[in-house]
Structure 1
Amino acid sequence: MSVMSYTEPESGSLHRQAQAWWVRLHSGQATRADADAFRQWATHSAAHAQAWREVMRVWSALDPLLAEEAARRASGERSFFSWLRMPQALQALQSPGRRAFLGGAVAASVTAGVLAVEPPLGLWPSVGELTADYRTATGEQRQVALDGDVSVRMNTQTLINRIGTGTLARGMALVAGEAEIVAAGAHDFFVETGGGRLQARAARFNIRHTGPQVCVTCLDGRVLVSVNAEKRSLEAGRQVTYDKNGMREIVRADVASVSTWRTGILSFDRTPLSDVIDEINRYRPGKVFLRNDELGRTLVRMQLTLRSIDNAPVMIRELYGARMRSLPGGIVVLS
């Protein structure tokens, strides 16, 4: 078992280093050498110590919520922390005596490997994020060029891997997220995502893969969509969704709404509040939780700018009468 060094990784922020130490020390596999290295890291400077205190402050504040949610899960209610579906996490949170010795909210029986694959609340990057060829953080957008004549505009929380050899990328895999692709080359460019394959030569199209379904919108040109041996051709202004079970019917697209993220504005027109919050969470650091199913069904008309996305929970409280509780780390509970 390798020992973490207090200088690892110096290129990252101190906050992310503190998060990495938290995972390691709560893995159930930390060694005495790890403890010694952590002491070196934590006492290296006042800034190191402050970063560690901030990480622990977040988890200490979350402790009551996590314990409450574990009890809700035990009674059969739906959990809003998806990672609490792990039996070992549920058992640990129901047993205060088994909590980690550093006072964090997740007990030592939850392995670092699981937390690295599915980080709770998105407080640190997953393995998939760290290994992707291109990625955007929460609230970040990025433009990348592939193969010289293909440009990709990546939206928030998007992961992309190149497919190709050498300096040429004949295609890409959209692991998760949303992107607008402009292909204007002499050869076909393809995208693999969500079990389907898209192919285009001269086209502009938007792909959104933020859940079990993939939504493809052709903005200009033509895109060939293939899923489970079924093929359909999308013309400009047309849209299709698919999942692992196959494709739905092609429909006329609301092109303006599909591209609003490019303008830095989120617009909602009679959208359930639960869906609005899901979208806000894609752009806002931390996490907003809605713990009122009736309120979640409220149809919302709202427009938000990405520059002021942090104010969204306050706007929801003022407009729709939600009660709001703020916690460290950008975590907000609405009820």
Structure 2
Amino acid sequence: MNRDEKVQKQAAYYVTRLFSGELTASEEREIQKWLNEDISHKREFNAILAIWQHSEVAYRSTKRASHLKRSFSFAASILITAITVYFLINALPYFSPASQEVKRNQLLTNKVHNPIIMTKAFQSSVGEVRQVDLPDGSTVTLNTDSEISVMLTSEQRLVELHRGEVFFDIQKENSRPFIINTGEQRITVLGTRFTVRKNTAEDSLKISVIEGVVEFDTLKTNTNKTIRLLTSGDIATYENKHKKISLTRTNSNNQQPGWIKGVLRFDNAPLSEVISELNRYRSKQIKMGFAQQEQFRISGVFRLSDDDSVLNAITATLPVKVHETEHAIELSKK
């Protein structure tokens, strides 16, 4: 296997990993390093990425026309076939090296060429809210302890949500969809504002649409496959364990989530839920020292920068006292 074939093989592997829904942050960094090592790496990666994307578009059109269920294995087989054709075109023995280069240049300068505009990972630490402005005019805001990987090309805008919660304010582009892959689900939009929260502990996903329309697709569910259109005011929670969606509606009023402005709002919420939410933003965790805490409820608007405000509200309105240790804050009944 010569050098060109090795580069093509490596590029094909990285593209399949990118669309597998299982790409890790370390792999994303590995791909970025490899792309920066040599111009030929980026050239072959872009070419195969474009082949994948054109195959994916063709498959999605077929699915919508026939209402057939999609499977990743089918899409992967399209990619393998396309890559095989691509390799054969470049390896036919009766083409001279010069002819091969002409063929390659033609391939890259036509529709198959899909250059990478941006590929980068972003993360926020515990208690941090981080805003990222993308080159397409979109804005993503990471809530506490969140991580995403972003890839923008000339034809698609792709985000991998690895963990946490992100608010998306997407610039509308009819010809270039914005796709968010969470591993087992995919969210596709053109231009809208919404929040996605990936709860690893509960193995669930929550989508809150503030403005626009969101297409929600459960990728890895072989049975009872779900494709749902969510509109402004919809809140969809998907539980991976039960493979089902719970849908509720609220008056969004086109408002951003409170945590972007550094506040949390609770309306007659169970104390256990309040504590669980607060712990997302704290290094020193709050622990319950008594059972049946769900009988206690609390309402209010609290600033995340003021650690004592919620605790003061709890002790002022509930029969609860606070004991702080070196490693935690313990609540117990009075």
TM-score after normalising by structure 1:
0.55
Mapping of 1:131-170 within 5 angstroms? 133-163=121-151, 170=157
Q: How many residues align?
A: 202
- DSSP-derived class of the 2:171 partner: strand
Of the candidates 168, 181, 186, which is equivalent to residue 197 of structure 1?
Answer: 186
Of the candidates 210, 228, 231, which is equivalent to residue 232 of structure 1?
Answer: 228
CA shift, 1:175, in A, is 1.6
- Identity among equivalent positions (%) equals 25
Give, in whole Å, the separation in 1 of the partners of 2:155 and 2:217. Answer: 23
1:250 is the counterpart of 2:241: no
Q: Which residue of 2 aligns with 1:172?
A: 159
Give, in whole Å, the separation in 1 of the partners of 2:297 and 2:256. Answer: 19
CA shift, 1:147, in A, is 4.5
Give, in whole Å, the separation in 2 of the partners of 1:212 and 1:333. Answer: 27
Q: Which runs of 5+ in 1 are unaligned?
A: 1-131
The answer to whether the Cα contact below 8 Å between 1:194 and 1:214 also exists between their aligned partners in 2 is no
Q: Which residue of 1 aligns with 2:209?
A: 218
Q: Which residue of 1 aligns with 2:264?
A: 266
Give, in whole Å, the separation in 2 of the partners of 1:282 and 1:249. Answer: 23
The answer to whether the Cα contact below 8 Å between 2:298 and 2:314 also exists between their aligned partners in 1 is no
CA shift, 1:159, in A, is 1.4
Q: Which residue of 2 aligns with 1:316?
A: 314
Give, in whole Å, the separation in 2 of the partners of 1:283 and 1:190. Answer: 27
CA shift, 1:141, in A, is 0.7
Deviations 1:239-283 (A, max 9, x none): 211122333243313426872222322111111101100111112
The answer to whether the Cα contact below 8 Å between 1:147 and 1:169 also exists between their aligned partners in 2 is no
Code of the residue aligned with 1:223 in structure 2: it is: V
RMSD of aligned Cα (Å): 2.5
Code of the residue aligned with 1:323 in structure 2: it is: K
Code of the residue aligned with 1:268 in structure 2: it is: F
Code of the residue aligned with 1:214 in structure 2: it is: L
Give, in whole Å, the separation in 2 of the partners of 1:169 and 1:282. Answer: 32
Give, in whole Å, the separation in 2 of the partners of 1:236 and 1:293. Answer: 38
- DSSP-derived class of the 1:202 partner: coil
Code of the residue aligned with 1:241 in structure 2: it is: T
CA shift, 1:181, in A, is 0.5
- DSSP-derived class of the 2:126 partner: coil
Code of the residue aligned with 2:195 in structure 1: it is: N
Mapping of 1:278-317 within 5 angstroms? 278-317=276-315
Q: Which residue of 2 aligns with 1:333?
A: 330
The answer to whether the Cα contact below 8 Å between 1:140 and 1:156 also exists between their aligned partners in 2 is yes
Give, in whole Å, the separation in 1 of the partners of 2:312 and 2:138. Answer: 40
- DSSP-derived class of the 2:229 partner: strand
Give, in whole Å, the separation in 2 of the partners of 1:298 and 1:232. Answer: 36
The answer to whether the Cα contact below 8 Å between 1:265 and 1:305 also exists between their aligned partners in 2 is yes
The answer to whether the Cα contact below 8 Å between 1:222 and 1:234 also exists between their aligned partners in 2 is yes
Q: Which runs of 5+ in 2 are unaligned?
A: 1-119
Give, in whole Å, the separation in 2 of the partners of 1:136 and 1:190. Answer: 21
Give, in whole Å, the separation in 2 of the partners of 1:258 and 1:297. Answer: 30
CA shift, 1:170, in A, is 2.1
Q: Which residue of 1 aligns with 2:273?
A: 275
Code of the residue aligned with 1:191 in structure 2: it is: I
Mapping of 1:5-20 within 5 angstroms? none
Deviations 1:16-44 (A, max 9, x none): xxxxxxxxxxxxxxxxxxxxxxxxxxxxx
Q: Which residue of 2 aligns with 1:206?
A: 195
